[in-house]
Each structure stands twice: as structure tokens, then as C-alpha cells.
Amino acid sequence: MIYENVELHNVEAIQPTGEGVRLQRVPEDVRELLDEGARMRLLQPDNCEIRFVSDSEETCVTLSSEGETELVVFHGTFDSRERHTINREPQTIVIRTPDRLLRLDPQWWRDLPFAPSVKRLVFGGFRRDPLILHGVQGAGIRPPQPEALPDVRYLAYGTSITHGFDCDAPHLSYVGQTAWHLGADLINLGVGGACVCERAFADYIAKRTDWDIATLALSVNMHLFAMPEFRERVEYMVNTVAGADTSRPVACITLFPYFRDFGIGDPSVKYGGTPDQYRQALRDVVRACPLPNVHLIEGPEILTRMGGLSGDLIHPSGHAMIEMGMNLSGRLKLLLSIEG
């Protein structure tokens, strides 16, 4: 989305609020059709970015949050090491390009997915409350040209693991790591605690024309669903998203290993099936799907070591996120080659 003099990446709607605009990852007419949890999570700006190029040595970006939101500043693919926490009071971040990047000969970065002239303010991390953009000031500010951005766009739908919960920074989630290895632009549609395959969400992803490959991690958030309902929802999601354009690979990921695989559950909770039953249901849906662009990836082959989990035995730690990104990107590279 182009807003005034910048590009808003992974942002599909803005809502006026006070002296600025709130960024959200799906349009409001889609968001209002989703379950309550998804409606809330899609206001969280994980992997949303403000992007621009500028003719001035300094550019000022004024932001606030409806709580607290973390910000990482990149120059193209280069991490500036700047970390900011945006609070309720508007604050102005001054963006300066490091001198060595200004002097870097293009021969060294020509093959990188982002040109270093592209300023990227990336949001998310431990704190991820809704973000308000108040304005960007500086000389010659403009959205980046397509040739300064990645050629491949990767869309990810899933749970809090996809969303990026417990990550030190937004680019360090497994989908962020996957995008890094692919040299791709990430569209993160993770919805922590609310990945339940609503029809409206499936229809929305299918209608989008701005992605080249997608992963659907389906879904530990549905382990209370009875097996018939789980299968029905998953089947609609897979067939709808993949059926919109069969030239685009859609990879369906079974449940990653988590506490119930290790014999730990809540006796007071009525689960709809075992983890392996949910995995098998997704396998069956993929096997029955007649579309050539639908593929199955086993979650336990992406996250291979339980020691990579954090102490809650469901969310991957940093070590596991790195492994997952490497393993998943390898699978997706093969699919991109096959489909291409």
C-alpha cells in the first residue's frame, strides 16, 4: 500500500485515529468477519513495514502505539542495530544511513533482494500493540521502486508461531528466516491463538494477487475442534487458496511438535483428537485435493528437536526458529523451481 510518500508493506488498511493512522494487516471489511481473536491479532503490526527512499541525510518518522510496539530499522537487508520501543506518546525516530553504506559500490549489493537505499522500519517482537503512523518528514521522500525490492513474495498463514510470538525481533521468526533464505518479501498473516481457518480468511487470501508462494500451518489452535469440523475448515482453506491460481505453490504444514506429543495435556480440557490425528487429517485433505499446486510439509520435519522449544513446550526458541527457517526454505525453493 502507498500512503502519502511511503510504502506500507504487509498493511492492507489504515484507520484514521487522532492525529495519525492505525496500520492493520487486512481490510476492515474482512477483519470484521473473523473470530474475535483474529480481529484483535490482525491489528498487531508483526512484520508490517514503513518503507521509503530519501534524498536527505536525515529522515524523521513520527509514531505512537496503542500500548507498546517494537521497531527494528533496516537499510535494505542491512540491520542498523537500532531498536526502539514505541509508546503511547508520539515520538520521532531519526533515520540516518550509515556512512559505509553510502560508500558501498553497487557491485556488492546488486544481487541482494533489497537495495540499501530502501529504509525499512519493521515492527513486531515481544511488544506488538497497534501502531499509529503520524508522518514522515524529509527531502525527496518517496516509495521504493520495484527493482529495489524482492522479486518473490511469500505469504504465511498460521498460529502464534507464524505470528512471531516470543521472538527477539520480527525478522527472527521462522517465517522471517524463511523469507531471508528465499530472498523473498514476507507477508505475515499469522494470528496468534486464532488460526482457525475461517472461510472469510480463506476467501481473502485467495483473492490477493500479490503473493507467489504460500504456507498454511494448520493448526494447533484447532486442537479443541472435533475432527470432522477440523477437516471441513482445513479443506475449504486449502482448496480455496490454492484454487485461485494454480501457478502459485501452496504448502500445507502439519502441526509442529508440542506438549501433547510428549504426553502432557490438561485433564480438564476436551481435545478433539490427538496431534497425529490432526496431522493425518491434513495429509488426507492434501491427498484428496485435485489441484497440482498443493503440497504437504510435515511439521516435525521442519522443527526436528524438542530441545528447540521454549519452556511452554509449544513456542520455538530462537535456535528452533533458525532451524525451521533453514528447513522450510529448502522445501519452498524446490516448490518454486517445480512450479516455475
Read off the pLDDT band of 29 (50, 70, 90): very high
- 182-198 pLDDT tens trace: 999 999 999 999 999 99
User: 2-148 — its CATH code?
Assistant: 2.60.120.260
> What pLDDT does 167 receive?
85
In one letter, which amino acid is 19?
A: E
User: 152-339 — its CATH code?
Assistant: 3.40.50.1110
Angle at 96 between CA 91 and CA 100, to 5 degrees: 155
Residue 5 class from Cβ within 10 Å (0-12 exposed, 13-18 middle, 19+ buried)? middle
Read off the pLDDT band of 83 (50, 70, 90): very high
The pairs formed by 40-43 with CB atoms below 8 angstroms and a separation of 24 or more are 40/194, 41/163, 41/190, 41/191, 41/192, 41/193, 41/194, 42/189, 42/191, 43/130
- 309-333 pLDDT tens trace: 999 999 999 999 999 999 999 999 9
- 50-80 pLDDT tens trace: 999 999 889 999 999 999 999 999 999 999 9
Task: Outline where DSSP puts E strands in 129-191.
Answer: 131-137, 152-158, 184-190
- 222-256 pLDDT tens trace: 999 999 999 999 999 999 999 999 999 999 999 99
State the pTM of this model: 0.96
Task: Indicate whether 279 pLDDT > 50.
Answer: yes
Largest CA distance in the chain: 62
**What mean pLDDT comes out for the span 145-172?**
94
Read off the pLDDT band of 338 (50, 70, 90): low
> What pLDDT does 340 receive?
47
Cβ contacts of residue 57 below 8 Å, gap of 6+?
96, 97
Q: What residue spans define the domains of the chain?
A: 2-148, 152-339
> How distant is the alpha carbon of residue 313 from its chain centre?
22
Dihedral over Cα of 306, 308, 312, 316: its sign: negative
Contact 75, 57 (CB under 8 A): no
> What pLDDT does 259 receive?
96
DSSP class of 56: S
Task: Indicate whether 177 pLDDT > 90.
Answer: yes
Task: Indicate whether 339 pLDDT > 80.
Answer: no
Question: What is d(CA 174, CA 258) in angstroms, rounded to the nearest whole number?
Answer: 16
Least confident of 127-136, 165-174, 209-218, 319-328: 165-174
